[in-house]
Amino acid sequence: MSIPSFDAAGNLPEGRHPASVENVRKVLVDGFPSSRTRSAIFDYWSHHREALLELVKVHRQWLAGSFTSDKADPADVDVVTVLDGLAFDELPRHRQLLVRMLIDGHYTEEFWNCDAYPVLVYPEGHPGHNKYLVGSQRWEDYFGYDRDGNARGVVEVSS
């Protein structure tokens, strides 16, 4: 499990690249010793991740955007959190609201430096399964290219 080198456009190669939290720090923070923002973004994301894990089952997170590029000083990290939809549905209402606050991109970007979005996983045959497939594909397509149209990959951190 290692994050690959950046391509000529400064992006990770196309696809999902499995990594541990420690590997994210080593490659995307420690690998940029002159960065003024990466360490703080990593710390905010780590705390954000811990808060989510205390509330609901997280299958994995996809990290994307400029944090997963060779940009020295990204402003934030884009995060898609893949949650267990059935576990989320069974949470008491107040816990669901807490989880929603942690996956609402506008709030989380300002507070956690994480532009965070959810994908809820439901099994085949469940009414939410098609929504899961569409949502998952939408984020893969969205984060699969940079602003210049260059293909790029994402870092996948499993729980």
pLDDT tens digits for range 12-59: 999 999 999 999 999 999 999 999 999 999 999 999 999 999 999 999
| Three-class secondary structure of residue 110 per DSSP | helix
- Which domain covers residue 61, as residue numbers? 28-158
For residue 145, tell me if it sits in a domain: yes
Q: What is the pLDDT of residue 106?
A: 75
> Distances in Å between the alpha carbon of 77 and those of 14, 112, 117?
18, 9, 11
Residue 13 lies in a domain: no
pLDDT at res. 159: 79
DSSP-assigned letters across all residues of 18-60: E--HHHHHHHHTTT-TT-SSHHHHHHHHHHHHHHHHHHS-EEE
Q: How confident is the model at residue 72 (pLDDT cuts 50, 70, 90)?
A: very high
| Domain contains 17 | no
Task: Tell me how many domains the chain contains.
Answer: 1
Q: Tell me the pLDDT tens digit for each residue of 99-149.
A: 999 998 778 888 899 999 999 999 999 999 999 999 889 998 899 999 999
pTM confidence score: 0.93
Residue 41 domain-assigned (yes or no): yes
